[in-house]
Amino acid sequence: MQDIIDRFISYVTIDTESNPDSETTPSTEKQWDLANKLVEELKTIGMQDVTIDDKAYIMATLPSNVEHEVPVIGFISHFDTSPDFCGANVKPQIIKDYDGKDIVLNAEKNIVLSPSYFKDLLQYKGQTLITTDGTTLLGADDKAGITEIVTAMEFLINNPEIKHGKIRIGFTPDEEIGRGAHHFDVEKFGAQWAYTMDGSQVGELEYENFNAAGAKITFKGKSVHPGYAKGKMINSMLIANDFINELPSGETPEETKGYEGFFHVHHFNGSIEETVVELIIRDHNSKKFEKRKEKIQKIASKINKKFSKQFGEDIVIAEIKDQYYNMKEKVLPVKYIVAIAEKAMKELNIKPIIKPIRGGTDGSQLSYKGLPCPNIFAGGHNFHGKYEYVPVESMQKAVEVIVKIAELTALPHFGLEAPKKEK
């Protein structure tokens, strides 16, 4: 277990925060620090074809050790950390044999990781936790995933009696700013399917995510001296307000769960002359997703109609851009790739937790680029903030899942009951 701890700490102590305002890839120079280290490490443990391209995408191969034909599978994670919280000077703390009580992360600043608030902690009583010192995030998202993949590859290299096909691994920059898959060369990767190791608690297995779009809505106005404004002034902020009120009630992130979609207004910036409202649209169901986008346009044209005489031109302009789609559509035709992961977990006495993601993963974009890619737990909790922690035992389990998936894939029918017919 010490190997995993040491490896993980060697990654999280390197700052790799990404930056959404940057145009380059990787978005921050410092991501190269860990990327270059990973390349060296992959070579050292004996991986083949270790490559890094000019955008810091890392790929490597573990060759097959069986004679027969086995599909090439992949494991993927990202090495950047979220710009939502400080990722520099991470000082991990190791709590051995966790007693189920409050963990003082930082006595000076009175920052406490408490199971009375974070109830998940209680399931890790007796385990070894890695936490922050209360001033940074930890970076288990997704350096836990990288730790697990490297450790699993090293284990397979050192235990050649475990039979497996060719395995490709991929580490990406800039996942946290939604670009991890953008420059991922699916053809070069050359796997039939892959798994992102980027979920949270032990057992998580996800192959459904939101369909997602972002909308930027611009409202025009006319500024006139308030004393002489009757019938003349058009206050764009008030029109924007009307627009928001026209959105269906009860369909916000804070009022929805499970498969329920939403509209989420996340930005409002206005003056009399111009107001810009930004919102995101999310729905698992692609038909409902299209309906939601239509709804935005319908409200816009209703308001445009109302003001067409007075304003002369469209007073509302709604620009909607699709961001990503539900990977389910790409995974269902090859559902056995989920069944393999499920079977791997069950064989390891891990209860699979299969649920829709209320967000997206790199895997959703990769699935649409031709690499079906469900998401598997990496073990961490409370991502993107100072309360982030990861139980070492969970990372160990993720390593075992990777090894087991590799094993199953080399068996007849992937170790599944009956050959799965593709639809």
Q: Which of 198, 208, 283, 342 binds Zn ion (CB under 5 A)?
A: 198
Q: Which two tokens stand for residue 369?
A: 């680029």
Q: Who's near 330: CB < 8 A, 6+ residues apart?
A: 367, 368, 372
Is 176 flagged in the annotation as binding?
yes
Buried b (16+ CB within 10 A) or exposed e, 101-129: eebbbbeeeebebebeeeeebeebeebbb
Q: Which two tokens stand for residue 110?
A: 């009175």
Phi, then psi, of 241 in degrees rounded to 5 = -60, -45
Binding range to Zn ion, per CB under 5 A, among 186-194, 196-204, 292-300, 343-351: 196-204
Binding range to Zn ion, per CB under 5 A, among 138-146, 292-300, 326-334, 407-415: 138-146
Q: C-beta of 78: minimal distance to Zn ion in Å? A: 6
Is 164 flagged in the annotation as binding?
no
Is 84 flagged in the annotation as binding?
no
Q: Which of 15, 80, 141, 388 binds Zn ion (CB under 5 A)?
A: 141
Q: C-beta of 84: minimal distance to Zn ion in Å? A: 12
Nearer to Zn ion by Cβ, of 283 and 388: the residue is 388
Q: Which two tokens stand for residue 312?
A: 């002369």
Q: What is the DSSP string of 326-394?
A: -THHHHGGGTHHHHHHHHHHHHTT---EE---SS--HHHHHHHTT----EEE---BSTTSTT-EEEHHH
Nearer to Zn ion by Cβ, of 198 and 204: the residue is 198
CA distance 382 to 390: 9
Q: C-beta of 330: minimal distance to Zn ion in Å? A: 20
Contacts 24+ apart (CB under 8 A), 248-257: 248/295, 257/358
Nearest Cα to Cα of residue 149 among 190, 188, 197, 184? 197
The size of the interface with Zn ion (CB under 5 A), counted in residues, is: 3
Q: Token pair 């051995």 is at which residue?
A: 96
Q: Token pair 């559509």 is at which residue?
A: 329
Binding range to Zn ion, per CB under 5 A, among 133-141, 182-190, 286-294, 330-338: 133-141
Nearer to Zn ion by Cβ, of 202 and 279: the residue is 202
| CB count in 10 Å sphere of residue 89 | 10
Nearer to Zn ion by Cβ, of 206 and 251: the residue is 206
Binding range to Zn ion, per CB under 5 A, among 152-160, 194-202, 248-256, 338-346: 194-202
Nearer to Zn ion by Cβ, of 16 and 25: the residue is 16
Q: Which of 80, 142, 148, 283 binds Zn ion (CB under 5 A)?
A: 142
Q: Where are the beta strands (DSSP E) in 173-261?
A: 193-199, 204-206, 211-220
Is 198 flagged in the annotation as binding?
yes
Q: Which of 148, 174, 175, 388 is catalytic?
A: 175
Q: C-beta of 198: minimal distance to Zn ion in Å? A: 4
Is 225 flagged in the annotation as binding?
no
Answer yes or no: 80 catalytic: yes
CA distance 224 to 235: 9
Q: C-beta of 40: minimal distance to Zn ion in Å? A: 23
Q: Token pair 């925060």 is at which residue?
A: 17
Answer yes or no: 260 catalytic: no
CA distance 284 to 204: 18
Q: C-beta of 82: minimal distance to Zn ion in Å? A: 8
Nearer to Zn ion by Cβ, of 237 and 357: the residue is 357
Active site amino acids: 80, 175
Question: Where does this chain bind Zn ion (CB under 5 A)?
Answer: 141-142, 198
Q: Which residues are annotated as a binding site for Zn(2+)?
A: 78, 141, 176, 198, 384
